[in-house]
Amino acid sequence: MRVLFVGDIYMDMGRLAFQKYFEQVKRQTKAQFVIVNGENIATGNGITETIYKELMSQGVNIVTLGNHAYTQRDSIDLLEKGNICRPANYGVGAKGKEYVTLSYNGKKITVINLLGRVFMKDQIDNPFTKMDTLLAQIDSDYIIVDFHAEATSEKYALANYLDGRVSAMVGTHTHVPTADSIVFPKGMLYLSDVGMTGTKYGIIGGEIKQGIRKFLSGVPERVNPENSGPLQFNAVLLDLEQRKIERINIYE
Ligand SMILES: [Fe+2]
Ligand SMILES: [Fe+2]
């Protein structure tokens, strides 16, 4: 089973980059199953129902989210009914699914999204113990984890904790792709961060002049997107049977 995972699609430029490169990458990699991180795909973060339907019609199977899962208040119902994983380690009563399981060619594939706790603001449950709970319930041929986290130390600790228990763990959230695509000793495919899909020179997707102004003044502002310039498309191909992992990094 060849799974393509596309990193954080960031707002308008992200949707543009996805339109431009997705078909070509899917064809070239012969991907059979597609997961995208859509926590920033809508203008203003989060995801909308219209965008979700568009992704599904283009051949995406499952969407994962992150710390912006609940940003679009009108789309929270979508989290309950779509093939969408919100971070599983939100607490009791959080809307949406802790994981999504689909069948492909007689095999069951489960996708789980988790939030990290290091340098992250949300008061969420421990991702390590949450995985213990989930793995006791899930009976699938393949399990893929999107660990939406800031710190590479936390990512490597969870990776070692999950090796041999899940098929693959990839990181998202930093918007910068890492080069450490490796196979762990017990066969788990791993990458610290897939990187983002969207504007190339923006400040991890944000507007350049605003980002510089914020770092000069120290005054906080809500991030505006950078809406011009060349694009980037970052993804990873996970071959779950062959246990191979291959990075796809397109920079215009
Ligand atoms: Fe993001
Ligand atoms: Fe994020």
Average pLDDT over residues 28-34: 98
Cα 174 to middle of ligand 1, angstroms: 7
pLDDT band (50, 70, 90) for residue 91 = very high
**Mean pLDDT across the stretch 7-32?**
98
Residues with CB under 5 A from ligand 1 (ion): 8, 40
Q: To 10 degrees, what angle do helices 127-137 and 152-162 make? A: 30
pLDDT at residue 249, rounded to an integer: 98
Task: Quote the pLDDT of residue 146.
Answer: 99
Tens digit of each residue's pLDDT (9 = 90 or more) over 218-247? 999 999 999 999 999 999 999 999 999 999
Query: Which residues are known to be catalytic?
Result: 68
pTM, full prediction: 0.98
Q: Which domains does the chain have, with CATH numbers?
A: 2-251 (3.60.21.10)
pLDDT confidence tier of residue 18, bands split at 50, 70 and 90: very high
Average pLDDT over residues 100-121: 97
